[in-house]
Amino acid sequence: MPQEIQLQVLPEIAATNHLLVDYVAKLTHTPSNEIQHVTILKRSIDARQKQVKINLKVQVFFQGEDVHHRPVSFPDYKNVRNAPVAIVVGAGPAGYFAALQLIELGVKPIVVERGKDVRGRRRDLKAINVDHIVNPDSNYCFGEGGAGTYSDGKLYTRSKKRGDVNRILELLVAFGASQDILVEAHPHIGTNKLPKIMEDMRHKITEFGGEVLFDKRVVDFDVKGNEIKGAVLHTGETIEANQVILATGHSARDIFELLDRKNIFIEAKPFALGVRAEHPQSLIDSIQYSCDFRGDFLPPAPYSIVKQVNGRGMYSFCMCPGGVIAPCATDVEEVVTNGWSPSKRDQATANSGIVVELKLEDFKPYEKHGALAGMYFQKEIENTAWKVAGKTQEVPAQRMVDFSNKKVSESLPKTSYVPGVVSSELGDVFPSFLTGIMRQGFQEFGKSMKGYFTNDAILHAPESRTSSPVRIPRNDDTLEHLQIKGLYPCGEGAGYAGGIISAAIDGEKCAIKCAEQIFGYRN
């Protein structure tokens, strides 16, 4: 029987196979040559002591034992060419995982996506970065794979249901992600790997008879009485179906406007907003690993920090070690930042959203917009930042200590944000209550992470798309919209997910309910 052991070892032992075998041999009082293989089942970093250690859960196979690798395979997909149809609006993680789950359950998904496939999308990303041109249908948030495609691909989630999370991770591995994501405590895929995975998911959907339509924006819903009958495209065409999974993400403002106009119930939802901070990665490494030099065996260090400032949470969000800050606007006359990193996380800088939790009462100045008040609050900050930095995709930026001291920076350090930065007073971008909290908060962060509060760090404004400013309420049991039968609000845009994994899980959940309605059974 292979033996499972928990270990705590030095980074070089965890990273070097023969050293790990020797270590296990010593620990189990076995000669090294009697150990056939050591499989790492779980890996995490313990940086609490001066000497960083790696926690491992390993499976040890002795000579004569059958070394089996964890099998990862596709579910039993059905041919759905002639099956009942469900429309899935949006080809993000929620939409694609919903579509695959529908196929597994014998329903034909027609995925309708406003943006382009991953290849076509690349040209539009270049246009934002280089020419400052934003295509409102194809950008860092819109297009095949959704907002997650050109991201860090961090795959951790606060979801408590390990079974659901493992299923999504295993599917990602089946679609080509590294087996490492099943092992790491904080798995990530990387921007260079995600597009191919999304492309392969699409091939699987079409191979079994589903359809994926690109460059097709949904502009209306066909609703008769209180039942959905189809989705209307910008071309004027209507696709008919009694089931529509609405997975359009947190940036589909036109969908929120549409629902509001049609009196389909939506509500304002608190979210968080702030800046994207960038430090030299070597500085974050030295803070997190208590060392001058990270060495060859530790990954670029991440960080996670939260403080209460004036009764509000201020915290790091979507931290990207060895990453790049991306221009994530989805429309003209706005700037938005977010971050990504390649699978090796080998860039020289560490960036993170640093955001402050908002409350519904903050949206009071926009109350004439009703349920869209938070969205207009967000929109105005993005538009103000665009104006402050000169009406291109350059963003307002300030050194961290200068920001706290209300001083416009005389010069700015090099940034990874390709469109460029303009030295500005970030207090001109945000409402004063937010600026006040952030000015104080960064100093508080510096007390917990010595060296963090520094003028070597540069703040970019704004980080504003942390989650949806709107919730599309649904029935807890059927997952249908509270008023509209057959409409399934899904994923991050509807307010039921916050990240790639939770969006994928929600996509599957909605697909299961959808199939239950179609085939008339309940689990």
* 230 interacts with ligand FAD by CB under 6 A: no
**Closest distance between ligand FAD and the C-beta of residue 227, in Å?**
20
Count residues near ligand FAD (CB under 6 A).
Answer: 44
Contact 350, 458 (CB under 8 A): no
Look at residue 221 and give its three-state secondary structure.
strand
Choose, by CB under 6 A, the member of 24, 53, 58, 140 that binds ligand FAD.
140
Q: Hey, what's the torsion of the CAs at 437, 443, 449, 453, to 10 degrees?
A: 110
Contact 109, 102 (CB under 8 A): yes
**Closest distance between ligand FAD and the C-beta of residue 264, in Å?**
14
Choose, by CB under 6 A, the member of 503, 505, 510, 515 that binds ligand FAD.
503
* Secondary element (H or E) of residue 132: none
* Secondary element (H or E) of residue 461: strand 458-463
* 94 interacts with ligand FAD by CB under 6 A: yes
Question: Among residues 9 and 501, whose Cβ is nearest to ligand FAD?
Answer: 501
In single-letter form, the type of residue at position 38 comes to: V
Angstrom distance (rounded) from CA 274 to CA 357: 9
**Closest distance between ligand FAD and the C-beta of residue 47, in Å?**
21
* 90 interacts with ligand FAD by CB under 6 A: yes
C-alpha dist (Å) from residue 119 to 90, 388, 511 = 17, 33, 27
**Closest distance between ligand FAD and the C-beta of residue 376, in Å?**
18
Output 281-287 pairs: Cβ under 8 A, ≥24 positions apart: 281/321, 281/322, 281/347, 281/348, 281/349, 281/350, 282/348, 283/350, 283/451, 283/454, 283/456, 284/321, 284/350, 286/451, 287/449, 287/450, 287/451, 287/452
Q: Phi and psi for 173 in degrees, rounded to 5?
A: -65, -40
Q: Is the peptide bond before 462 cis (omega within 30 degrees of 0)?
A: yes
Angstrom distance (rounded) from CA 271 to CA 105: 34
Angstrom distance (rounded) from CA 232 to CA 486: 15
**Closest distance between ligand FAD and the C-beta of residue 129, in Å?**
13
**Closest distance between ligand FAD and the C-beta of residue 152, in Å?**
3
Choose, by CB under 6 A, the member of 247, 356, 372, 412 that binds ligand FAD.
247
Contact 284, 350 (CB under 8 A): yes
Question: Among residues 117 and 285, whose Cβ is nearest to ligand FAD?
Answer: 117
Question: Among residues 141 and 239, whose Cβ is nearest to ligand FAD?
Answer: 141
C-alpha dist (Å) from residue 135 to 160, 258, 259, 388 = 37, 20, 23, 21
Question: Among residues 4 and 200, whose Cβ is nearest to ligand FAD?
Answer: 200
Question: Among residues 255 and 461, whose Cβ is nearest to ligand FAD?
Answer: 255
Question: Among residues 21 and 461, whose Cβ is nearest to ligand FAD?
Answer: 461
**Closest distance between ligand FAD and the C-beta of residue 104, in Å?**
18
* 153 interacts with ligand FAD by CB under 6 A: yes
Question: Among residues 108 and 114, whose Cβ is nearest to ligand FAD?
Answer: 114
Angstrom distance (rounded) from CA 363 to CA 463: 17
Question: Among residues 111 and 429, whose Cβ is nearest to ligand FAD?
Answer: 111
Question: Among residues 23 and 140, whose Cβ is nearest to ligand FAD?
Answer: 140
Angstrom distance (rounded) from CA 50 to CA 458: 28
Give the range of 70-78, 249-257, 342-350, 363-371 binding ligand FAD by CB under 6 A. Answer: 249-257
Choose, by CB under 6 A, the member of 116, 217, 276, 379 that binds ligand FAD.
217
**Closest distance between ligand FAD and the C-beta of residue 110, in Å?**
12
Choose, by CB under 6 A, the member of 101, 135, 151, 517 that binds ligand FAD.
151
Question: Among residues 14 and 112, whose Cβ is nearest to ligand FAD?
Answer: 112
Give the range of 286-294, 397-405, 452-460, 499-507 binding ligand FAD by CB under 6 A. Answer: 499-507
Cβ contacts of residue 448 below 8 Å, gap of 6+?
305, 307
Look at residue 356 and give its three-state secondary structure.
strand
**Closest distance between ligand FAD and the C-beta of residue 155, in Å?**
7
Give the range of 50-58, 288-296, 307-315, 494-502 binding ligand FAD by CB under 6 A. Answer: 494-502
* 266 interacts with ligand FAD by CB under 6 A: no
Tokens of 240: 């008919």
**Closest distance between ligand FAD and the C-beta of residue 324, in Å?**
9
Site residues for ligand FAD, window 322-361 (CB under 6 A)?
326, 328, 338-340
Choose, by CB under 6 A, the member of 53, 108, 116, 154 that binds ligand FAD.
154
* 212 interacts with ligand FAD by CB under 6 A: no
* 259 interacts with ligand FAD by CB under 6 A: no
* Secondary element (H or E) of residue 110: strand 108-112
Site residues for ligand FAD, window 101-130 (CB under 6 A)?
112-115
Cβ contacts of residue 281 below 8 Å, gap of 6+?
300, 301, 321, 322, 347, 348, 349, 350
Contact residues toward ligand FAD (CB under 6 A) are: 89-95, 112-115, 140-143, 146-148, 150-154, 217-218, 247-249, 252, 254-255, 318, 326, 328, 338-340, 491-493, 497, 499-500, 503
